Chains A and B, each alone.
Chain A
Amino acid sequence: MNGKFMSFIRGLYASPFSIAMTLFWAYLAFLTIPTVVNWAVINAVFVAEDGDGCSRSGACWAFIIARFDDFVFGRYPEAERWRIIVAFGLPLILALSSLIMSQKQRGKILFGSILLFPISVLLFMYGGVLGMEVVETRLWGGFALTLVIAISSIASALPIGILLALGRRSHMPVIALVSTTFIEVARSVPMITVLFVASIMFPFFVPEGVEVDKLLRTIIAVSLFAGAYMAEVIRGGLQAVDTGQYEASAAMGHGYWQSMRFIILPQALRISIPAIVNLFIGFFKDTTLVLVIGLFDLLNMVLSATSDPKWLGFEVEGYVFAAAVYFIFCFGMGHYSRHLEAKQKQR
């Protein structure tokens, strides 16, 4: 500890250039830190009725606090918001309960909780069963919507990605060609165009009278899109599995699907987990794009709140808050993925 500290100090004046840098950063800190602290903390207002109660020289966190529930739940009817908590809570509890299970069961339970998620969202958030009235998806929003889109898309991208990855490695030229084409096309276009396909082109593709919910369309499109990226991640995992494993399973008499299911995929998926987490982080951030097709995810909720007549002129607070939420989640998951990767390397 002491040695670390000493080398930290020594680094500050190791060379003339280093001294110059130290002085530069010190000067910069002197310029900015007081301003930022004054704005964010000292002059900030945490409780106020409306924008008039906030000062212009400090941050108006009162705005964030007042609208916080909307940022989390969107425009979902207030009396029904408990349903969102239940919808997310059930899979979460299941996932957490895996922590006390053995290593072996943990994977299965985590997998189960991911599968449970869409079902529980459909049952509780959409409703229409158990005496719960239907809440249309156009009322869904906020961080809850961000999570619904991100988690459902990645969860359904997993099986799609596995099939595409196996397809791309297939010895059957047609299968390999179809999979590769899909993967490469999907990976080469921006996500925004995929959202356009879901929101504008899709209605042309289905027979008249058939209507598919816009949110569902979006999730399907993002799942297919994410499936292409997932396929490349899993393909990497498949390549990393030792060829001896393929040979041993063939020599033991397992057919293609058996050796994939019991021997190759479990290993490939485990290798891919850090990359899958990174993929999830990417798509978690990219869900912000749904504002382009008029869905109200966290970012869009915050932006629309900044034009709330009661709270005009607090864009900066809104952006800072939204950025902080994304940062906390992405940074946390990124850390976790690096931790997993390091653990895998140790083996």
Chain B
Amino acid sequence: MNRQQISIVVQISTIVGLCLFAWFLIVTTKANLAAAGMSSGLGFLDEKAGFDVAFSLIEYSGDNTYWRVFLVGITNTLLASVIAIVGCTVIGFLVGIALLSRNPLTAGVARVYVETFRNVPLLLNILFWYFVILNLFPRVADSFDLFGIGFLNQRGLYLPLIEATPLGRLIMLAVVVVTSIGVFNYSKRQTEVTGFGIFRTGWIALISCTVIALLLWIGVIGAEVEMPAKSRFNITGGISIIPELVALIVGLSIYHGAFVAEYVRGGLLSVAKGQSEAALSTGLTDWQSMRLVILPQAMRVIIPPYISNNLNVVKNSSLGAAIAFPELVNIFAGTSLNQTGRAIEIVLMVMAFYFTISMLISLVLNIYNKKVQFNER
């Protein structure tokens, strides 16, 4: 047989083998489901879920369907992930730079931080924040009063809910449009003048964050505010940030921050020493040479592992299930699965969600790599 023939035979037998395997799985699963008197399919998604979840960004009550539970899980997973990504980025860059500090104490503390949290399981980290630190907080009856605008207790952090009126929304929109145009033009001009691409992207992120914060504040001009109120056993009104969310975010940020710090350190070290000396010799200050010369070059090394780190954050947010934070795995692969018994459908849906996220993140990574390659030519 020549190589092509062998190759065809091998491939066909692989396909046949996989089909047989799938067929076996389907047949046995069907038999098992029939024996247990269960049906299959996604019909259950239209059924009423009948349980409450502790925290949701979107409207949800026990009267909603399992499909809605799926969406609540996804939004909560994404919420926790996004905040944790911001958290671990901030921590990671600060600690990463600190690792290379010329002050030995700063470098030492940063090193201890990185080694400690990289080498201790994330689950332990999260459980610690949830069960130990939370215990130190007061009960509902003895809630901390936060200057009259909110409360802090074992059940979480209660803050005023700010709901924009139509006028407030209009103002927000206008400000967003105007500032974005302004920021864009400014940074474009800056890029033309200085030629530093990173200058643009780095500051756009920073400025837009500030702008969003400002907007929230400006939005209050035309907004209705609902203050949380304390009764004997409970706190009503306002928005509550549940401790599960806080523990999850803190644990994820600290753990992944340690990894990001190492990527940042590696990236900074990859920039030749001559570069910073050259920059300093032209009269740039320490901070300027870091910002304009070192970081932009280091970014090429930092960004690829940083992007995969963010995928890991999304995946690891599933550990929220262990402290009953209502993210996807907890309320869908947990509660919903227990109630409906639809193990196969539910686990596959959950996996499909993570797979989609992963593909999106790899797409971003590929685009970035292409861009870098292009710029290097």
A residues engaging B (CB < 8 A)? 8, 11-12, 14-15, 18, 21-22, 25-26, 171-175, 178, 184-185, 187-193, 196-197, 200-201, 203-208, 281, 285-286, 288-289, 291-292, 299, 303, 315-316, 319, 322-323, 326-327, 330-331, 334
Contact = CB atoms under 8 A, between A and B. Distances in A.
Interface stretch (B67-75, B126-134, B270-278, B367-375): B126-134
5 contacts: A22-B105, A172-B11, A188-B355, A190-B329, A205-B28
Nearest to B286: A15
B138 interface: no
B123 A196 contact: no
Contact of B105 (A21, A190, A196): A21
Contacts of B31: 207-208
Given A288-B121, A319-B132, 14 more contacts: A22-B105, A25-B109, A188-B354, A193-B329, A193-B347, A193-B350, A203-B32, A208-B32, A285-B119, A285-B120, A292-B322, A322-B124, A334-B118, A334-B119
B10 interface: yes
A270 to B, nearest CB: 23
Contacts of B106: 21, 25
Contacts of A205: 25, 28-29
Contacts of A330: 118-120
B124 A190 contact: no
A146 to B, nearest CB: 10
Contacts of A326: 119-121, 124
Contacts of A288: 121, 123-124
Nearest to A325: B120
B77 to A, nearest CB: 10
Interface stretch (B88-96, B231-239, B312-320): B312-320
B105 A204 contact: no
A190 B321 CA distance: 12
A80 to B, nearest CB: 28
Interface in B64-119: 101-106, 109, 115-116, 118-119
A339 to B, nearest CB: 15
Contacts of B135: 315
B329 A201 contact: no
Nearest to A178: B14
Nearest to B333: A196
B344 A319 contact: no
B14 A175 contact: yes
Contacts of B28: 204-207
Contacts of A178: 14, 18
Contacts of B351: 185, 189, 193
A334 B120 CA distance: 12
Contacts of B39: none
A281 B15 CA distance: 35
B211 interface: no
B120 A8 contact: no
B105 A25 contact: yes
A124 B135 CA distance: 42
Interface residues of B, number: 54
Contacts of A185: 351, 355
Interface string B8-37: 001100110010000001001101110100
B11 A175 contact: yes
B7 interface: yes
Contacts of B318: 190, 192-193
B315 A174 contact: no
Q: Which 3 A-B pairs have the closest CB atoms?
A: A188-B358, A330-B119, A174-B11
Contacts of A316: 132
B181 interface: no
B357 A188 contact: yes
B358 to A, nearest CB: 3
A197 B329 contact: no
Contacts of B227: none
Interface string B355-369: 101110000000000
B32 A188 contact: no
Contacts of B29: 204-205
A187 B358 contact: yes
A33 to B, nearest CB: 12
Contacts of A322: 124
Given A190-B329, A193-B351, A285 B121 contact: yes
B218 interface: no
Nearest to A315: B132
A288 B322 CA distance: 11
Contact of B322 (A184, A204, A291, A334): A291
A209 to B, nearest CB: 11
B120 to A, nearest CB: 5
B115 A11 contact: no
A196 B347 contact: yes
Nearest to A329: B119
B347 A201 contact: yes
A299 B124 CA distance: 7
A8 B119 CA distance: 27
B175 interface: no
Given A207-B31, A331-B115, A22 B343 contact: no
Among B101, B106, B116, the most chain A Cβ lie within 10 Å of the Cβ of: B106
Nearest to B131: A315
B103 A18 contact: yes
Interface in B256-302: none
Among A8, A22, A200, the most chain B Cβ lie within 10 Å of the Cβ of: A200
Given A285-B121, A292-B322, A323-B124, A200 B337 contact: yes
Contacts of B122: 285
A204 B24 CA distance: 11
A187 B361 CA distance: 12
B10 A175 contact: yes
Given A25-B109, A174-B15, A190 B354 contact: yes
Among B102, B329, B350, B354, the most chain A Cβ lie within 10 Å of the Cβ of: B102
A12 B124 contact: no
Given A193-B329, A315-B132, A11 B103 contact: yes
Contact of A190 (B32, B102, B315): B315
Contacts of A200: 337, 343, 347
B123 A12 contact: no
Nearest to B318: A190
A323 B124 CA distance: 7
A204 B122 CA distance: 31
A346 B355 CA distance: 39
Contact of B11 (A173, A303, A323): A173
Contacts of B354: 188-190, 193
